[in-house]
Structure 1
Amino acid sequence: MPVKSICVFCGSRPGVDPAYTADAEAMGKGIAAKGWRLVYGAGDVGLMGSVARAAQEAGADTFGVIPAHLVAWEVGKTDLTRYIVTETMHERKKVMFMNSDALVVLPGGAGSLDELFEVLTWRQLGLHQKPIYIVNTNGYWDKLKQLMNHVTTSGFADDSILDFLTWVPDSASALEDYAKRINAS
């Protein structure tokens, strides 16, 4: 069976709750423990840096993708197994998506939401069948879940869009669920 690649979208800042960093580290360690590869935004700051360092320290293969204009801002982590610099944000998302089997969203800001909504839209349009996990650390994404329900109840999306998102309380739950999906297929 080929190595699975998990794309992690998350903040370039750590956020105010230490649980966010702890869960990012758990994601990195968990990916390594399962023998999978981390695909992420190649930054060495915030939750991005935490997930990558944890994955590296635990022995995971790491694949980072960063646009040239963010190399200094996000402190491009050049010691990854594979480090790619793209021209645009869209190209970054496309390369990350194309090199992953599952998508995970940890706490983050506008960039993480942009990444989520792009892959969710692609899924809604039938362009992929990859699982999308929302890691709701300490309820961080509760308002997003309310918004998604509001979008459907207001008639701007079919209820089926809600089925494209798997909501989990922490990184361990996302990794466990994905492992079960793999074993079931």
Structure 2
Amino acid sequence: MKILKKPSIGVFCSAKNNIPNDFLNFAYKFGSFLGKNNFKTVYGGGNQGMMKKLAEGVCSEKGDILGIITLEFIKREGNFENLNDKIICESLDERKKLLISHSDVLCVLPGGFGSLDELFTAIQFNNLNSPRKTLIIVDYLNFYAPLLNWLEDISNINIIEKPANHFCIARSLHDIEKLLL
């Protein structure tokens, strides 16, 4: 009998601590879901904010987690210690490439400029490479709604292709489960 390997899930999200608890709790629940369902989690290795809660959730289910972090972020923010694997890299560009290359599916949770940079890097990666990575924008509590509306608006004037050609949208953990299970 052949055992199918579950895809590795790369996660981009906020590393800020002073954000609403709803977002922190969602990251923990999402990490717990990934660990419980034996997905390998790949994330930025951080020890703050949603990154920390995601990692805690994965570890609460004894899940497999890989952190990819720069030396600069370790100095500024620390790194999560309970990882199965860790890659320390020199630059953000190298980190983004490693996050994408070690992941089969990419999920973008609420985050700041770094998460937006990673989102658009993933879209461009898919435009230039085959096979494409499945990309899921997690619009939890309508966090990304203004961005998604803008992308739809500029696609209507042919500046970009339709967003649905580039990513899926999930608004809840249930939506994510339907996409991944």
TM > 0.5: yes
Say whether residues 1:66 and 2:69 are aligned partners. yes
Measure the CA separation in 1 of the matches of 2:123 and 2:54. 22
- Most deviating of 113-122 and 166-175: 166-175
1:78-117 equivalent positions in 2, closer than 5 A: 78-117=81-120
TM superposition score normalised by structure 1: 0.90
* 1:171 paired residue number: 173
Of the three residues 123, 134, 138, the one matched with 1:135 is 138
Flag structure 2 segments of 5+ consecutive residues without an equivalent: none
By relative contact order (CA 8 Å, sep 6+), the higher-ranking structure is 1
Number of aligned residue pairs: give it: 178
Q: Which deviations, in whole Å up to 9, do the C-alpha atoms of 1:28-74 show, x marking residues without a partner?
A: 01001111111000001000000001101111011000011111223
What SS class does the counterpart of residue 71 from structure 1 fall into?
helix
What amino acid does structure 2 have at the position aligned with 1:129? R
- Most deviating of 51-60 and 122-131: 122-131
Say whether residues 1:41 and 2:37 are aligned partners. no
* 2:125 paired residue number: 122
1:4–1:100 contact (8 Å) kept in structure 2: yes
Over 3 Å counting, the alpha-carbon distance change for 1:167 and 1:14 in structure 2 is farther
What SS class does the counterpart of residue 66 from structure 1 fall into?
strand
Q: Which deviations, in whole Å up to 9, do the C-alpha atoms of 1:63-96 show, x marking residues without a partner?
A: 0000111112231113310011101101111111
Q: Which deviations, in whole Å up to 9, do the C-alpha atoms of 1:110-160 show, x marking residues without a partner?
A: 00000000001111234442211111111111011012112212322122x
What amino acid does structure 1 have at the position aligned with 2:172? D
Measure the CA separation in 1 of the matches of 2:34 and 2:156. 36
Identity of aligned pairs, percent? 25
What SS class does the counterpart of residue 103 from structure 1 fall into?
strand
